[in-house]
Amino acid sequence: MAMPEAEDGTHYELSEGELITLPPRGFRHGFIQGSVFRVLDAALDRKRFVIASGDIGFRLCPLPSAAQTSP
């Protein structure tokens, strides 16, 4: 469950159990991300939708049953 931390801006993702190293994001990435955010923010109903921006994590598939724990 622990992901490596890098001080050089390197990002890591876990894909189907394999650790993938990603290069730091650059200006173009940030510019496009900001542009898309502004368009969505102006177009969507804020009572129905929430927009998340920045480098946030998502779980795209559930954890295997054995790894799940009850609260």
The tens digit of pLDDT for each residue in 8-33 reads 767 788 888 888 888 777 889 889 98
Q: What is the pLDDT of residue 2?
A: 66
Instruction: Please give the mean pLDDT across all residues of the chain.
Output: 77
Count: domains in the chain: 1
Domain limits for position 35: 25-51
Report if residue 70 sits inside a domain: no
Q: Residue 3 — pLDDT band, cuts 50, 70, 90?
A: low
Please say if the pLDDT value at position 46 is more than 60.
yes
CB of 10 closer than 8 Å to CB of 22: yes
% of the chain beyond a pLDDT of 70: 66
Determine how many CB atoms are found less than 10 A away from the CB of residue 37.
14
CB of 34 closer than 8 Å to CB of 51: no
Report if residue 15 sits inside a domain: no
Q: How far is CA 71 from CA 48, 67, 68, in A?
A: 29, 13, 10
Report if residue 40 sits inside a domain: yes
